[in-house]
Amino acid sequence: MSPVIPIQVEHGCQDAPVLRERGQREVFCGLTGIIWLHRKMQDAFFLVVGSRTCAHLIQSAAGVMIFAEPRFATAILDERDLAGLADAQDELDRVVHRLLERRPDIRLLFLVGSCPSEVIKLDLSRAAARLSQRHAPQVRVLSYSGSGIETSFTQGEDACLAALVPTLPDLPTLPTPPASATGQDAAPELLIVGALADVVEDQFRRQFEALGLTQVRFFPPRHTGALPPVGPRTRFLLAQPFLGDTARALEARGARHIPAPFPLGAEGSAAWLTAGAAALGLSAERTAPLIAPWRQRAERALAVHRQRLAGQRIFFFPDSQLEIPLARFLSRELGLQLVEVGTPYLHRGHLAEELALLPSGTQLSEGQDVERQLDRCRAARPDLVVCGLGLANPLEAEGFTTKWSIELVFTPIHGFDQAADLAALFTRPLDRRQRLAA
């Protein structure tokens, strides 16, 4: 078993009751994840099989790209496709052929399902297998669902990475040394799982190297020709809390999950790095002196934001699945009071270390009944509300100060060097409200 870093706290929310709601939801769909995934995987292309509404959504989320050709597009399902008057598989083959002729740089093509393609039962997995065979070895074609019918918008990344896991090469098996000699498996390797901004990935890589760890890989990689190998020697750290399907797919390949808080803020980043180092055989006593300067620098940068945020009351609507790690960071490092922490799905296994660090008595909710949650928010009158775009403007009109949860996914927020930037995302709405009031 991988070593686990114990986190000593007097109280926590490991066994706290959770309000489970199953009503109307206000969320983006998983197609939104394409916006950060296409920037990360520089030779991959995302072809959404959907409606004009899907195309407008993605273009609106991505912004206007004048000076660069994006690596995503939409194959429009029109009335003939939806009515069954045209063979959608033949139409898709023609679109893919034209795309690959125009963009010979594509090495990995994702066919991304949407609500319309799922409603008409278009079998994209069969299409991906057929097209992959036709265009091999130059191009590999995979499929996944970005539909928002049952999921939150960040689960688009989860579905994408889970579809990619079966294509990862096997990590060679090495002889296992006697347990009495090391107490460790043979030469474990560390895999960081979750799309991170390139600057954040580079920072983490340098920090792991400073700890003496060179066998560290990142998934997804920047180029699909550098897919990391995976196998029983793989130990993986999740960088994002919404990767449940990806984690299960990796475990099915023999990899082992390393329990850890997520690398948000000084405390979370230190615990995350320590857990990764421990899984590869480094003790906390050895890593703590190396991590301490990074943590202290982040804490100094957070001090000015703590002065502004301490004592403010915050309410989280469920949207991104980042809510619980963010709540831990805001309450412990910046002194905010948690009114309610809502999340679309609470994975107790992946969030156990985070729940242990939340203040005892924190109101947790899973799923959403938006009208009931709005009633609770209005009754509580928090100082700051974290929610999706669909709720932000109406709440602002009612006098609430809001923070768009989607901005927390588009912005680099992981690691020590981004801790103050993360805090500033919560400071700015309050400062804006104060200036407007003046």
**Same-domain status, 87 and 41:** yes
Checking if the pLDDT of 329 tops 80, the result is yes
Residue 408 lies in a domain: yes
For 204-232, give one letter per residue: b (16+ CB within 10 A) or e. Answer: bbebbeebebeebbbbbbeebeebbebbb
Output the pLDDT for position 176: 60
pLDDT tens string 73-112: 888 876 555 555 456 788 899 999 999 999 999 999 999 9
pLDDT digits (tens, 9 = 90+) for 278-294: 999 999 899 999 999 99
Q: According to the model, what pLDDT value does residue 207 have?
A: 97
Q: Which two tokens stand for residue 21?
A: 């709601």
pLDDT band per the 50, 70, 90 thresholds, residue 59: confident
In this predicted structure, the answer to whether residue 364 has a pLDDT above a threshold of 60 is: yes
Between 19 and 307, whose confidence is greater?
Answer: 307
Is 157 domain-assigned?
A: no
Is residue 77 domain-resident? yes
Q: How far apart are CA 254 and CA 191, in angstroms?
A: 13
pLDDT at position 426 is 97
pLDDT attached to residue 181: 44
Q: Are residues 351 and 318 in the same domain?
A: yes
Q: How many residues does the chain have?
A: 438
What is the arithmetic mean of pLDDT over 387-396?
A: 91
- 74, part of any domain: yes
pLDDT tens digits, 201-230: 999 999 999 999 988 999 999 998 899 999
User: Among residues 265, 290, 315, which one ends one of the domains?
Assistant: 290
Which residues are registered as beta bridge partners of 367? 21
Residue 389: phi and psi, rounded to 5, are -65, -30
**Do 194 and 121 share a structural domain?**
no
315 and 429 inside one domain: yes
Q: What is the mean pLDDT of residues 239-252?
A: 97
CA–CA dist 301, 345 (Å, integer) = 32
Tell me the residue range of the domain where 105 lies.
30-151
pLDDT at 91: 85
Helical residues (DSSP H) of 70-211, grouped into ranges: 79-82, 88-102, 115-119, 124-135, 155-164, 179-182, 198-210
Q: How far is 395 from 401, CA to CA, in rounded Å?
A: 8
54 is in an annotated binding site: yes
Strand bridging mode 313-316 / 384-387:
parallel
Residue 402 forms part of a structural domain: yes
| Residues 322 and 431 both lie in one domain | yes
Number of domains the chain is built from: 3
Mean pLDDT of 66-79: 74
Q: Where residue 63 sits, what CATH number does that domain have?
A: 3.40.50.1980
- Quote the pLDDT of residue 257: 98
Q: How confident is the model at residue 30 (pLDDT cuts 50, 70, 90)?
A: confident
**387 known ligand binder:** no
Do 208 and 286 lie in one domain? The reply is yes
- Same domain? For 87 and 128 the reply is yes
The mean-pLDDT minimum among 22-36, 128-142, 299-313, 317-331 falls in 22-36
CB atoms within 10 A of CB 361: 9
For residue 208, the model assigns a pLDDT of 97
Q: How high is the mean pLDDT of the chain? A: 89
Which residue's entry shows tokens 């922490």?
A: 341
Q: Are residues 280 and 312 in the same domain?
A: no
In a shared domain, residues 113 and 221: no
Residues 195 and 257 in one domain: yes
Residue 79, classified by CB atoms within 10 Å of its CB into exposed (0-12), middle (13-18) or buried (19+), is exposed
Report whether pLDDT(65) > 80.
Answer: no
The pLDDT assigned to 180 comes to 41
Could you tell me what percent of the chain has a pLDDT over 70?
A: 91
Residue 396 pLDDT > 80, yes or no?
yes
Res 7: pLDDT:
39
Inside any domain, residue 170? no
User: Is 115 among the annotated ligand-binding positions?
Assistant: yes
Give tens-digit pLDDT for 143-195.
999 887 767 889 999 999 999 999 999 998 776 655 544 445 578 999 999 99
41 and 99 assigned to the same domain: yes
Residue 285 lies in a domain: yes
Residue 1's pLDDT band (boundaries 50, 70, 90)?
A: very low
pLDDT for position 54: 85
Do the domain assignments include residue 79? yes
327 and 361, same domain (yes or no): yes
Predicted confidence at residue 249, as pLDDT, reads 98
Query: Between 115 and 7, whose confidence is greater?
Result: 115
Percent of the chain with pLDDT over 90: 68
